[in-house]
Structure 1
Amino acid sequence: MPEGLNAWRLLKGAGVKYVKFVIVDIFGRPKLEILPIDAARDAFVDGIAYDGSSIPAYTTVNKSDFVAQVDTNAIYIETWSGGKTALAFTSTLDGNKPHPMDPRNALKQVVEYAKSRGYEARFGAEVEFFIVRGNPPSLVDNGAYFEGYPLKETMPVIEEIIEQFYLSGIGFTKTHHEVAPSQFEVNIPAADPVQVADQILVFKILAKSVAQKYGLTATFMPKPFWGVNGSGMHIHVSLWRDGANLFASYKEPTPELKSAVAGVLENALANSVFVAPLVNSYKRLVPHHEAPTRVVWGLGNRSAMVRIPYYAQKINRFEYRHPDPSANPYLAFSAILLSAVDGLERKLEAPRPVEEIAYDLQGVRETPKHLGEAAKLATEGITAKMLPQQLVKAYLSLKEREWNDYLANAGGSWDATWNVITRWEYDQYLEVA
């Protein structure tokens, strides 16, 4: 029996009434084709036919008949809406080949490239977000980091999110209140990068849906409030060979870990537009709010761009703190993995790990000042060279347009608005980031 048909029968037998076929756009946002379960049968075998010209930057109207093939290993039940609907991720085809504009295809190809060099990647993600009310948003609680007292409005939302996180098939997780009021963090368990990228999207759909039930908004906008911590999406990375973790050690980082970190740091500025993709992202990347501004690394140092978790002096991964939760996870993961493998293949030497608070360091590279600068730097790194050129060109063009649109609506000046959150940002990002 074809895998697709078997998956369809399992869903129908489980009482699923509707299937949402997920097509990932260039920004990493889900686009959906919704079919009743009986009508979805053929789609699980033959794919979903759709108008590719209506997905941003995918194609032109004269070449717009696309087919998205279902990935039977990436199906999740929307338990938060009663379990009657399933999310089925797809990959778009160009004839019989993966379409180069589909970012999910791009990450799959990067993962396969890493495997061809002998590396199996495992990624995990710490996703931070705010629960807010209205637009412009207002804070819903005044909790602090690891808040222990009951939070009247946000705690019921978080408890339901965590319950549905497991029931929907993502796995086990943990959560806590983050540093800023109304801010929380949820962990996506470490696994294959494509699986984790899918699960980030499922989690965002879940969190937004549950918050809406309470009349609130779960926002993944990086910096919705000035003067408090923004939201990051810290990515934990390990690379394996023949079943052994190349980064596992005690007290001292392995040579492989150092080279991988060196590759990530070397490409950090060029990768910024892929991991911190919004105008608003660069209002998060400011000193003294636990967001990195200096391109350095350190053991247990949360002010550094790359932190080596160092609990009881045990090492098994690196944490890349540059990304935020608005990033397209498929492109962000591609950038991180390509950079780490590049460092390993070239046996790059890492600079000394910093013990100081990184914000105080002088004479080291700093994150781009704004999105316009980040977009210009992208062509200097390995990501822009290794990903499909059609995809890179379209992505950077859209980011340049986004930057220019911001300037046009913010009086033409970054210097006058870098430390305020504008109405334009709320309208563009609050609900869809």
Structure 2
Amino acid sequence: MNYIGQDSRVDLRVKFIYRVGMSPMPEGLSVWRTLKGAGVKYVKFVIVDIFGRPKLEILPIDAARDAFIDGIAYDGSSIPAYTTVNKSDFVAEVDADAVYIETWNGGKTALAFTSTLDGDKPHPMDPRNALKQTVEYLKSRGYEAKMGAEVEFFLVRGNPPSLVDSGAYFEGYPLKETMPVMEEIIEHFYLSGIGLTKTHHEVAPSQFEVNIPAGDPVQVADQILVYKILAKSVAQKYGLIATFMPKPFWGVNGSGMHIHVSFWRDGVNLFASYKEPTPELKSAIAGVLNNALANSVFVAPIVNSYKRLVPHHEAPTRVVWGLGNRSAMVRVPYYGKKINRFEYRHPDPSANPYLGFSAILLAAFEGLDKKLEPPSPVEDIAYDLEGVKETPKHLGEAVKLASEGVAAKTLPQQLVKAYLALKEKEWSDYLASVSEGWDKTWNVITRWEYDQYLETA
């Protein structure tokens, strides 16, 4: 159970005991009783779609009791690509460790994440199941992975959007339009149970970053969705839009979602060292770099993503790595020559975090398992390098490259096939919307992109 509240009279981590026979209470029922005792009136059961967007089944707290025990029944054919209408009666079981109170709504509602079943097995079309299975596979091979995320986004007004502040990186002066929004967002970030964080104004006007604390990959992926819901809800109160579209404005930095990764064995961080990267860290980086082009469709998944991946705006375009080098695709944080993780700067916040995380972990594990060696780290500004691999030119190219990677070969094939088909259609829809084609529109943010991504990415 994930909840931290200053005024709550109920400890949401307490396990209650049935009075009848003193047998342990089912975990779901324990969670339900805790929510009811905390004053929650409605539960929003979260089903994650193939794009990584939350779909909700909302029940009053009393009606939600049985759902916490037996799961939530829903029409699977209404979720993109999940199933056909003739086989659409699905059940999703509630994850009792992934429940968050929406403190920004006065604590009257809660988000409860679910995993869809195929009979008594995980359904292959649920991306949350895919990440859970990836994590379990790593554990079966003796590894525990921890991931964290730096999520960048813009606070804007209208569609087409306009910037609402003139702040710069680490802006120190008060910003009338955006700082009250960010203060409220950060307050609820903590109260809702995501954890402690830090935030700052990013390079572009109206752009901010928050950090999702490192932890279990499934939990962190859930928390990215909770954060998006939170940020969008608070921004709406101020008449603004919190957009996670990677490149809403040409000529300024886009928004990335930098992913920090470490691998552990028997409680020991295999990437931790001073001065020199460990052999395990280098092998993991080699796996990530080898799969970078194939994984692009999972970590930079929309047409607009490839307008972010251009030189000189702190987005990676060269498939290289370096120590403390923010122009490289993979950066090893190197503060005081202390090393404990790598940072993958390729992803953006429009990514389905469950599929994106799975692709990253599988790539890193392939490097570890095969003891791959990466090329030498790059010290120069990577945008100026020649003769090295570059990120795909556009989404259409990324779709074609996907089949070459370990993720597309390892994730449930039904899921991969449907996902790539939808991405191919998305690319075709974009081309149909612009008469000039990509070569004339790669440096222009089109109306089609705003309509597709501004509020839904």
Structures share a fold, TM > 0.5?
Answer: yes
Question: CA-to-partner distance for each residue in 1:23-71, whole Å, 9 max, x for gaps?
Answer: 0000000000000000000000010000000000000011100000000
- CA separation of 1:412/1:64 partners in 2, compared to 1, >3 Å: closer, same or farther? farther
| Aligned partner letter, 2:139 | K
Query: What is the SS of the residue equivalent to 1:349?
Result: coil
Kindly indicate whether residue 193 of structure 2 is the aligned counterpart of residue 153 of structure 1.
no
* Within-5 A mapping of 1:260-279: 260-279=284-303
Equivalence for 2:452: 428
Offset of 1:412 from its aligned partner? 5.4
The equivalent of 2:334 in structure 1 is: 310
Find the counterpart in structure 2 of residue 195 from structure 1: 219
Listed as ranges, the matches of 1:234-245 within 5 Å are 234-245=258-269
Residue of structure 2 aligned with 1:93, choices 100, 108, 117: 117
Which of residues 207, 218, 237 in structure 2 aligns to 1:183? 207
Task: Determine the structure 2 residue equivalent to 1:291.
Answer: 315
Equivalent of 2:36 in 12, 16, 25: 12
- In the other structure, the counterpart of 1:396 is 420
**Are 1:387 and 2:411 matched, yes or no?**
yes
Identify the residue that residue 9 of structure 2 maps to in structure 1.
none
| 1:84 aligned residue (91, 96, 108) | 108
- In structure 2, the residue corresponding to 1:278 is in which secondary structure? coil
What residue in structure 1 maps to residue 75 of structure 2?
51
1:107-128 CA distances to partner (integer Å, 9 max, x unpaired)? 0000011111111000000000
Give the distance between the partners of 1:365 and 1:118, measured in 2 at CA: 32
Q: Number of matched residues?
A: 433
Find 1:372's aligned residue among 371, 390, 396: 396
Output one character per residue of 1:147-184: Cα deviation in whole Å (capped at 9) or x when no partner.
00000010000000000000001000000000000000
Letter in 2 for 1:333: F
List per-residue Cα deviations over 1:127-162 (Å, max 9, x = no partner).
Answer: 000000000000000000000000001000000000
* Corresponding letter in the other structure for 2:209: E
Aligned-partner Cα distance in 2 for 1:243–1:216: 44
Alignment-derived partner of residue 125 in structure 1: 149
Question: d(CA) in 1 for partners of 2:165 and 2:252?
Answer: 14
Instruction: Tell me the secondary structure at the aligned position of residue 416 of structure 1.
Output: helix
User: 2:439, 2:417 → 1: CA distance?
Assistant: 28
Check if 1:167 corresponds to 2:191: yes
Question: Does residue 221 in structure 1 map to residue 245 in structure 2?
Answer: yes
Match of 1:255? Answer: 279
Q: Shift in Å at residue 411 of structure 1?
A: 1.1
Distance apart, 1:325 and its partner CA: 0.2
Q: Match for 1:282 among 282, 306, 316?
A: 306
Task: Give 2:347's aligned residue.
Answer: 323
Cα distance per residue 1:214-248 (max 9 Å; x no partner): 00000000000000000000000000000000000
By how many angstroms is 1:344 displaced?
Answer: 0.2
Shift of 1:410: 1.0
- C-alpha distance in structure 1 between counterparts of 2:222 and 2:436, whole Å: 37
Give the partner amino acid of 1:71.
D
User: Residue 439 of structure 2: SS of its match in structure 1?
Assistant: coil
Aligned counterpart, 2:232: 208
Residues 192-214 of structure 1 show CA distances to partners (whole Å, capped at 9, x for unaligned) of 00000000000000000000000
**1:142 counterpart = 2:166:** yes
Structure 2 residue identity aligned to 1:102:
D
Counterpart selection for 2:257 from 208, 233, 244: 233
Letter in 1 for 2:155: I
Alignment correspondent of 1:41: 65
1:28 aligns with 2:52: yes
Does residue 71 (structure 1) correspond to residue 95 (structure 2)? The answer is yes
Task: Say which SS state the counterpart of residue 186 (structure 1) adopts.
Answer: strand
TM-score, structure 1 normalization: 1.00
What is the CA deviation profile of residues 316-355 of structure 1, one whole-angstrom value per residue up to 9, with x for unaligned ones? 0000000000000000000000000000000001100000
- Aligned equivalents of 1:76, 1:394: Cα separation in 2: 30
Unaligned runs of 5+ in 2: 1-24
Give the CA deviation at 1:382.
0.1
Q: What is the RMSD computed on CA atoms of the aligned residues?
A: 0.4
4+ residue stretches of structure 1 with deviation over 2 A?
none
Residues of 2 paired with 1:14 and 1:207: CA distance? 23
Rounded to whole Å, the distance in 2 between the matches of 1:266 and 1:431 is: 33
Aligned equivalent of 2:21: none
**Which residue, 99, 103, 116 being the options, matches 2:140?**
116
Partner amino acid, structure 2, of 1:63: K
Q: Distance in 2 between matches of 1:388 and 1:243?
A: 30
Partners of 2:45 and 2:279 in 1: CA distance: 43
CA displacement 1:359-386 (0-9 Å, x = unmatched): 0000000000000000000000000000
How far apart, CA to CA, are the structure 1 residues paired with 2:256 and 2:109? 30
User: Alignment identity in percent?
Assistant: 87
